[in-house]
Structure 1
């Protein structure tokens, strides 16, 4: 989700072109150098100076700085401009290489065998995520089930797992998680999977987990943008949107998290440009992914209701509360939400010292319209509906590209925080 600060290292020309003209061969970013350019409240002047370069700045808030990635053949000319810059990364391609290869997953041997925690040592291909979830569910067949909410634009299942406790299936209010809404945010799938893993495996030996499971039903969707996720793994690592094509345009993709049918019509929090990374679509809810998610959300609302929703993203280390569509709007229970977020940040920090900023989404980060947490709050009836932006920090040179060595730490700190949170909502 994160679009300011180092986001332009994800929005360089090859990525922008990939939005307009889909490529089948894998895009590389070897030699791209990323910069932070000071704008001193005059971003238009800076943008004009760099307009001739094949480096597209993309900051939602650019009054202080623009962040850009420059292809190797243009670095010398770019630096000759004499702009006030800070180098964020010497080689974007090398940053991506630090993620490591996609490692093949091996299913556990034996009836109801639990997958190994080594799953969290590496990133894996999309097909392996499906197998991992099926294996995990098969190890706990009386406490969970796999479900699908619908199909993606390219026909892939949007799948999830339902977990319940002693009250039986569907007997308690919902805890509802979405991961990998934005395709390039690979760490979000891993964190959601780690939470799932612990909810299932720790039920009989952790009283806190048992209390949580017995109080709520969990509905966890690790990859709600499967088409984009696959494309990010096979073709363009930094792809964000879904892979929806539209008549009359060569641009591909809609931002699913700007397509929810609530406050979609407002301006300033999404784009009407079909090539933009935040393209909102032609109409509210006109992506098949969003239509499936809305229908499922309403099903949960009409059942036992939704207690807590999280849309897991990266990066920047934020806990974002309602609302995104208006920087002055606050949820009716804002004071309680703010206290919970403050305490959650403190719990997360205890694990590794990682600091999370918290507050209302618009005023803390930037404006968003047609977003999931706003819909879940005012239409879906969730008591709490948040976005959590995972590692790294907004000042990191890695951004969305998080080394595999950080998968477990990023997951463990969220698990420890979540146990506190769910015991106190």
Structure 2
């Protein structure tokens, strides 16, 4: 029973003092979240008090934490005890099992043939995502290729697509990593939407889109954690890490998975609050930097692109919280020299997203460690410091805590559309001849093209 599994792991806390998620073996039955509730707790100025009260529960799981909130998952028979703690909370999911059922992948191939954007009305199975990228390549055959950074622990190809403009490949690179954490389903369709817009815009002769591919090559990897993603679809919707066993001599040798965003070399063991040495933790960093096959392959690819053409922009795509974050994550008070430029750009991106969204979506921005929390061994720090990326961001997509990881399918397309608007601004700013701190509308105007 899930509650017993959770209770047995209370001795293995995360950095925040919250019980770690349980590990499960591949042969286990699908995990049911029927009747489980997700609560958002107001912790502003009261985090120690909140955590002290939570310790009275037999079990709970942390979903997410920021400067003012803690989102927790509570089992059905603990809900009354939680609600009696006297905390300031609201309910995110009244029945998480019902919410998960509502977002289940749906086959709508006939509709997609009639309307290509229908793809973004639902979530999809892993094999369908692979075929979608093959279809993208077929739509841009002379200016694209399928690429790979190697294999996952279970042998799945870490596939991606490489796009380029006139004159052939070899220009400075824009590099995307999606689905780093398995349960963050919204990331793959967002990067797919951006890829589709780049291809369609170029094929249609859109001056703005052509200008992006004139200047940069794009390497887009939608699933850098394919094993974990497949596991979220077959067994446990809330799985986060990869599916690699821990070292045989580990104290908790039954807990599977490394956190791919804590396994990078740069800053790997620089902050004890930024990752965990416990294999049962959600932020387990591994026994050594790059000791997951996923990270080893991704790192080799980063270094190859660095040495061949240079990396102009790197983005690590995540959810949730709506943040635009940049190095450094492992140190709350250490900032890169590019902080001023990145901050101005992030402000313009956030402004554009807000203005383009019917929901007036707002993105918070700043240095990762100072704005959100410490993350040692993270990809943006590594690709900036070792990969020498000129721009390096983490983007945390929708939402800010109404639905969290289980984002309804009807929000996929709006999330993708607003982020495409923000990315157009960012692509325009990468060439510093366009960067003078003016507003987003003026950036478009400088290029002599329409904002649409």
Give the structure-1-normalised TM-score: 0.89
Match of 1:94 among 85, 95, 98: 98
**Counterpart residue number, 1:421:** 426
Secondary structure (helix, strand or coil) at the match of 2:423 reads: helix
**Counterpart residue number, 2:195:** 196
Deviations 1:99-155 (A, max 9, x none): 24342646988xxxx992221111110011101111110122111000111000000
Q: Does 2:74 correspond to 1:75? A: no
How many angstroms apart in 2 are the aligned matches of 1:265 and 1:71?
34
Secondary structure (helix, strand or coil) at the match of 2:429 reads: coil
Deviations 1:378-404 (A, max 9, x none): 1101000100111111xx231011111
How many angstroms apart in 2 are the aligned matches of 1:209 and 1:64?
39
**CA displacement at 1:61 relative to structure 2:** 5.6
**Counterpart residue number, 2:414:** 409
Deviations 1:188-231 (A, max 9, x none): 00000011111111103311000101111110001000000000
**CA displacement at 1:84 relative to structure 2:** 4.2
How many angstroms apart in 1 are the aligned matches of 2:368 and 2:226?
25
**Counterpart residue number, 1:289:** 294
How many angstroms apart in 1 are the aligned matches of 2:239 and 2:112?
32
Match of 2:335 among 330, 352, 371: 330
Structure 1 residue ranges without an equivalent (≥5): 1-7
Deviations 1:169-206 (A, max 9, x none): 2x210011110000011110000001111111110331
Stretches (4+) displaced over 6 A = 106-109
How many angstroms apart in 1 are the aligned matches of 2:172 and 2:403?
38
**Counterpart residue number, 1:174:** 173
Structure 2 residue ranges without an equivalent (≥5): 1-13, 431-452
Q: How does 1:199-278 map to 2 (within 5 A)?
A: 199-205=198-204, 206-246=206-246, 247-248=248-249, 249-266=253-270, 267-278=272-283
**CA displacement at 1:331 relative to structure 2:** 1.2
Aligned residues: 407
**CA displacement at 1:37 relative to structure 2:** 3.9
Give the structure-2-normalised TM-score: 0.84
Give the conservation status (yes or no) of the 8 Å contact 1:100–1:403. no
From the superposition, tell whether residues 405 and 131 of structure 1 become closer, same or farther in structure 2 (CA, over 3 Å): same
How many angstroms apart in 1 are the aligned matches of 2:192 and 2:154?
24
Secondary structure (helix, strand or coil) at the match of 1:416 reads: helix
Give the conservation status (yes or no) of the 8 Å contact 2:63–2:72. no
Q: How does 1:53-132 map to 2 (within 5 A)?
A: 53-58=57-62, 66-103=70-107, 105=109, 116-132=116-132
Secondary structure (helix, strand or coil) at the match of 1:308 reads: strand
Give the conservation status (yes or no) of the 8 Å contact 1:12–1:55. no
**CA displacement at 1:78 relative to structure 2:** 3.1
From the superposition, tell whether residues 245 and 106 of structure 1 become closer, same or farther in structure 2 (CA, over 3 Å): farther
**Counterpart residue number, 2:382:** 375
